[in-house]
Amino acid sequence: MGGQACVFYGAAQFSKDVDFLLLSGETNFSGLHEALCELGAVRIAVPRFDPAILDRGHAVHYRCKAAGVEGLRVDIMTKLRDLPDFDALWARRTTITDAEEREVHLLSIPDLVDAKKTQREKDWPVISALVEGHYQSLGNEPTRERIDFWLRESRVPERLLDLVKRFPREAEALRGSRPLLAHAISGELPALREALDAEVRAEQEKDRRYWEPLKREMEEFRRQERE
């Protein structure tokens, strides 16, 4: 669900860890712990593994020590900000099969884009690359869902100008939910660039507000472990 998924999609992001979104449930957790034991994984930070803590939006962090994966970090979550529950994400996942017939399940590109809307500056160029790659691959096969995704999520001003010209009716319908489309429709490129920057800042602030109570909980977890 993180940087490694971006690599699969061609929006390469340097990442030293692997982030997994996991279905919350006793059977799945049992399989997770078996896999972590095989990897020689040890928890490296707070919080401890606890389904209730995971369901509040925290991640549990591990470092692998088994041969061949020494130093690999694995982060586990069961809930993502502003995304639906696991069943919905799983239903629209992307599945890739490698040369050895092993399946890799990825968040869909629209869901990955939403997951990447964080405070971190490095995530926003990746979002742009994901959306642009999606358009480059499927632009000749527009559907209602794809057009909606491109108009809502494109971060390239020139691309937005092209999109509103190509899909004027759909762009007009989305002006209420993404006001900056008005600048694209009127061809106001400087105003569009400013609005895109403001949109990033608003999303970053939204992410900060989401994590504030979780960070306070993290401090309490650290205090409890010290004691």
pLDDT tens for 11-42 read 876 777 899 999 999 999 999 999 999 999 99
Final residue before a domain boundary, out of 64, 80, 108: 108
Claim to verify: residue 49 and residue 9 sit in the same structural domain: yes
CA-wise closest residue to 167 among 147, 138, 196, 149? 147
- pLDDT at res. 16: 76
CA distance 174 to 14: 34
pLDDT tens for 94-104 read 999 989 999 99
Q: Are strands 103-106 and 42-43 parallel, antiparallel or unpaired?
A: unpaired
pLDDT band at 155 (very low <50, low <70, confident <90, very high): very high
Q: Percent of the chain beyond pLDDT 90?
A: 92
Claim to verify: residue 97 and residue 157 sit in the same structural domain: no
- pLDDT at res. 11: 82
- pLDDT at res. 98: 87
The alpha carbon torsion through 15, 126, 210, 78 (nearest 10 deg) reads -60
Residue 178 included in any domain:
yes
- The token duo for 114 is 């939403």
Residue 226 included in any domain:
no
**What is the mean predicted confidence (pLDDT) over 110-119?**
96
pLDDT tens for 53-72 read 999 999 999 999 999 999 99
- pLDDT at res. 207: 97
Residue 37 included in any domain:
yes
CA distance 125 to 130: 9
pTM for the whole thing? Answer: 0.93
**What is the mean predicted confidence (pLDDT) over 183-209?**
97
Between helix 157-166 and helix 144-153 the angle, nearest 10°, is: 150
Final residue before a domain boundary, out of 108, 133, 150: 108
Contacts of 145 (CB under 8 A, 6+ apart): none
Claim to verify: residue 66 and residue 143 sit in the same structural domain: no
The answer to whether the peptide bond before residue 213 is cis (omega within 30 degrees of 0) is no
Claim to verify: residue 18 and residue 63 sit in the same structural domain: yes
Q: Percent of the chain beyond pLDDT 70?
A: 99
Claim to verify: residue 88 and residue 180 sit in the same structural domain: no
Which residue matches tokens 């010209």? 165
Claim to verify: residue 152 and residue 101 sit in the same structural domain: no
Mean per-residue pLDDT over the chain, rounded = 95
Contacts of 124 (CB under 8 A, 6+ apart): 116, 155, 200
Full domain range(s) for residue 97: 3-108
Claim to verify: residue 102 and residue 128 sit in the same structural domain: no
> DSSP assignment, residue 48?
P
